[in-house]
Amino acid sequence: MTMEQSVGSHKRHSTESASPALKTSPLYRFEKSFPYFREPGEIGTFSLDADRQFHNDKRQLKSYFPPKDPGHCRFDLKHGYEIMIHKDESVKEYLHTLLQWIMESRDRFVVKKTPSKGSCSSGMTEDAVKTKSSDDLKFQSLSTDFVCWRGLLTKLLCVPYEKRDGLMLAVIKFRGTYYMCEFETESKKLEKQQTTPRQEQMCAWGFKFEQYVVADKSSERPDTSKPVNTNEGFCTIVRSRLESHSLVFGAEVDCEDPWRKQGNKYVELKTSRLIDTQRQHENFCRFKLIKWWAQSFLVGIPVVICGFRDDNGVVHCLQNYPVKEMPALTKDSIRQPWKPNVCFNFLKDFLDFVKSNITEDNERCAHVFRWGPGKDMTYERRDNDEEFNFLPQWFVSWDAW
């Protein structure tokens, strides 16, 4: 079933016909100057261990360890595939680890505070409130408009140019903040069910590449003998602003480059098929670089390091792609290139659209957005629908609220 069919055959909620749609084309709608986007600033980090357990620390942050000659190497990405440990993809994680980090990091939010019931008398001045211990104070809100994963923002940025994959997400407004969570489209689910063993193995190559070029903090060099375990991860949480919208989002980061002297030290690692022809180079610029750019730009990562592999899964050379240079590289290589201002103006319009159409603050009320290439983005309201009520009870009933 295609995305279009899945939208069409979906049982419509009675309010859907009244819901406005968001136009995602034509592109000239978004051909305005680049909107204000504040440089993302890190407000925290956390790690997920080999058992996917949360730790409020940097234990999983790895160091980039380049090969002696990045222009000539031989990394067999098939090596050790039999012993690889795969994260259980059937466990839906929603925003849970991000919410867990928020709950453990409330000092990172300049919150609107009110004295908790019985903690102090009415008429207390703001200064007097500040002198009380933080335990005596209650949050009203996180004073943040949007909370989500970086991956969702990456996909939203790419919508104006996406020709293949649809997108589905749910938005819940809770205590003044819009929580946004991606859901798998019907066609993605189907595609996953039809994955061949060869495709499955190829999906693992990216993770094996990471193992060849990163070292644990504690060790000196990469260890490619141990199993790759995709449960492990290191996440950064950043705060940014897009015009009037304040954003807090989490992002999984591959490693840091300890030799980088200034600015953001994080590095994004990628693999890609060796480029032999002009046509392949153009496709690489049109379809891959936009995703790499959007993913890294959002968190201020300065460089993507790509391992170029052959069809047999052997990486032969590494190449650095400064994120800043990706739009120009694309512009010089293809006709009708993707443009950063178009991507960000669309994202801004989307966030405007969410704010102006979702006004009810209710953790049990999800708004499900659906989009497919060539279509407008539509949404429907789902009340008390377990499938989309992604905010866990432990977050909703947090005693700090």
- Does 271 bind ligand A3P (CB under 6 A)? Our answer is yes
44 binds, among ligand A3P, Mg ion, none (CB under 5 to 8 A by kind): none
Binders in 256-275 for Mg ion, by CB under 5 A: 269
Beta carbon of residue 206, minimum distance to ligand A3P (angstroms, whole number): 2
174 binds, among ligand A3P, Mg ion, none (CB under 5 to 8 A by kind): none
Query: CA-to-CA distance for 246 and 84, rounded, in angstroms?
Result: 39
313 binds, among ligand A3P, Mg ion, none (CB under 5 to 8 A by kind): none
With contacts defined by CB under 6 A, how many residues of the chain interact with ligand A3P?
7
16 binds, among ligand A3P, Mg ion, none (CB under 5 to 8 A by kind): none
Return the bridge partners of 290, or none: none
- Does 206 bind ligand A3P (CB under 6 A)? Our answer is yes
Beta carbon of residue 254, minimum distance to Mg ion (angstroms, whole number): 4
103 binds, among ligand A3P, Mg ion, none (CB under 5 to 8 A by kind): none
* Closest C-alpha to 182, from 168, 172, 201, 196: 168
- Does 264 bind ligand A3P (CB under 6 A)? Our answer is no
Beta carbon of residue 55, minimum distance to Mg ion (angstroms, whole number): 18
- Does 250 bind ligand A3P (CB under 6 A)? Our answer is no
Contact 236, 58 (CB under 8 A): no
256 binds, among ligand A3P, Mg ion, none (CB under 5 to 8 A by kind): none
Beta carbon of residue 254, minimum distance to ligand A3P (angstroms, whole number): 5
Beta carbon of residue 268, minimum distance to ligand A3P (angstroms, whole number): 6
Beta carbon of residue 74, minimum distance to ligand A3P (angstroms, whole number): 17
- Does 203 bind ligand A3P (CB under 6 A)? Our answer is yes
- Does 270 bind ligand A3P (CB under 6 A)? Our answer is yes
Question: Minimal CB distance to ligand A3P: which residue?
Answer: 206
- Does 182 bind ligand A3P (CB under 6 A)? Our answer is no
Query: CA-to-CA distance for 152 and 369, rounded, in angstroms?
Result: 12
207 binds, among ligand A3P, Mg ion, none (CB under 5 to 8 A by kind): ligand A3P
- Does 185 bind ligand A3P (CB under 6 A)? Our answer is no
Q: Give the residue carrying structure tokens 């994955």.
A: 195
Q: Which among 18-26, 84-92, 202-210, 257-265 is the span making contact with ligand A3P, rule CB under 6 A?
A: 202-210
Q: Which residues of 1-32 are buried (b: 16+ CB within 10 A; e: fewer)?
A: eebeebbeeeeebeeeeeeeebebeeeeebee
* Closest C-alpha to 356, from 36, 33, 19: 19
Residue placing its CB nearer to ligand A3P in the complex, 299 or 377: 299
203 binds, among Mg ion, ligand A3P, none (CB under 5 to 8 A by kind): ligand A3P
Cα distances from 241 to residues 194, 224, 357, in angstroms, run 39, 40, 20
Query: CA-to-CA distance for 200 and 209, rounded, in angstroms?
Result: 15
Residue placing its CB nearer to ligand A3P in the complex, 295 or 389: 295
Cα distances from 342 to residues 31, 300, 348, 352, in angstroms, run 5, 19, 10, 15
With contacts defined by CB under 5 A, how many residues of the chain interact with Mg ion?
3
- Does 155 bind ligand A3P (CB under 6 A)? Our answer is no
- Does 254 bind ligand A3P (CB under 6 A)? Our answer is yes
- Does 207 bind ligand A3P (CB under 6 A)? Our answer is yes
Query: CA-to-CA distance for 113 and 100, rounded, in angstroms?
Result: 20
- Does 254 bind Mg ion (CB under 5 A)? Our answer is yes
Beta carbon of residue 168, minimum distance to ligand A3P (angstroms, whole number): 14
50 binds, among ligand A3P, Mg ion, none (CB under 5 to 8 A by kind): none
Where do contacts with ligand A3P occur on this chain (CB under 6 A)?
A: 203, 205-207, 254, 270-271
Where do contacts with Mg ion occur on this chain (CB under 5 A)?
A: 252, 254, 269
